[in-house]
Structure 1
């Protein structure tokens, strides 16, 4: 096996291992280690105690979510990078640098999401596990995420994510540092595409495995050109309808 091929093989082994580790970590975090407590109750106690919060625990939670949910959406771009690398003297180390740049951007997002969850929890609008207690937060997030699906910003971000070959042809440069920079730029486009979809977890609970699995599948499919174009706007319409329905429920219940 050529040396470059061996490096790419090792890279893919580590890449998919990181995804599996992310999901394994999330599954472990959703299982309460204390008898008599549900996972939600355990995380509530851990993340938001009487007057204290643990920002490290929240950051770890969001970091694992980002790794488990967003790395699968990056597979097409990494494959294109690897194929181009075969002809442009790139190797597994460059592919790892690309993913590192991408992951670094999502770690920044994780820190911001953890800070948002922490602030809302301390304000009494959210539980420690990221479940909204405020109808206005839920309605606002649903409506904003739905409207964003129709925006030109969303379309521009999706365009970069759906056509990585064009991105690499425009920004390609050999070496680890350029690979990291390209990964970070793609990470920024990806955050621009998916940040509100990720934050939707704050409505039903950020540690809800069913939501995480469904959201991951949707975001993977949305980035595929032939499939995603049929999904983006219908989801936006569904989210706006959900916001209206929740608003009607709030008014009808007098809350």
Structure 2
């Protein structure tokens, strides 16, 4: 079984996918904002980040943010979909359409990245986040944490994460739509499952490797069929509790 898995993962499409994930994380490592630089920004204020050309309130700044969010989304979300991609790759005549499936999946997250970039620009202009995307508002941080925690208990979250945990029935239901549209559907399901955890980047720090690593691990585990069901509700309670502590100023 292990030898078969290794042979499957050594095919060109899988090597390209793994290369894309590794390149994404390598780029994020280079672009990540160290904690000491965040501390300096608190000392020197907005001029510190303006000098580094992090965020500007114009189309160029929005485009840079979109690229940053797109890179972050791809690096974080592709690993969470690997079981679904492997299931698709095992289906008959699927291999030649593998790239179309992954492309459709990424297209959804590119759209999410555009919305997230615009949201970060708006929050920055209202003084709710700094130029690194880190929340400056206790109320905003608490609202995001409590909102993400509450979302863990919703019917939409349950419906989306259930499909992520059972990709074979999902593909069978939509097989006639073709790989691109199935990729779009898979991306939409994944978005419905994970968007609330992704926006916690405004609390944990946009481009913070610690946040990205922890969030990716949680989203990967939550999509596992046996373990994930035991994680969703405790994670929700934990996020709500963290939000309450932030709101209380603790």
Matched pairs, number: 234
How far 1:13 moved relative to its partner? 0.6
In the TM superposition, residue 244 of structure 1 has moved relative to its aligned partner by 1.0
Runs of 4+ deviating beyond 6 Å:
5-8
In the TM superposition, residue 248 of structure 1 has moved relative to its aligned partner by 1.3
Pairwise CA RMSD: 2.2
Rounded Cα–Cα distance in structure 2 between residues aligned with 1:140 and 1:8:
44
Trace 1:24-63 onto structure 2 (pairs within 5 A): 24-30=26-32, 38=37, 41=41, 45-49=52-56, 52=58, 54-63=61-70
1:38 CA displacement: 2.7
Q: Scaled by the length of structure 1, what TM-score is found?
A: 0.86
Once the two structures are TM-superposed, the CA of residue 43 in structure 1 deviates from its matched residue by: 5.6
Flag the 1:108–1:191 CA change in 2: closer, same or farther, 3 A. Answer: same
The Cα of 1:204 is off from its aligned counterpart by 2.5
Contact 1:130 1:204 in 2 (8 A): no
Q: Tell me if structure 1 keeps the 8 A contact 2:135–2:141.
A: yes
Does the aligned pair in 2 maintain the 1:63–1:110 contact within 8 Å?
Answer: yes
Aligned to 2:202: 202
Give 2:14's aligned residue.
Answer: 12
TM-score, with structure 2 as normaliser = 0.87
Q: Distance in 2 between matches of 1:164 and 1:216?
A: 19
Pick closer, same or farther for the CA change 1:6–1:207 going to 2, 3 Å: closer
Q: Is the 8 A contact 1:8 1:82 kept in 2?
A: no
Shift of 1:170: 1.1
Shift of 1:247: 1.3
Match of 2:228 in 1: 228
Contact 2:80 2:223 in 1 (8 A): yes
List runs of 5+ in structure 2 lacking aligned partners. Answer: 1-6, 42-47
User: Measured at CA, do residues 43 and 60 of structure 1 come closer, stay the same or move farther in structure 2, by a change above 3 Å?
Assistant: farther
Aligned mates of 1:98, 1:215 — CA distance in 2: 24
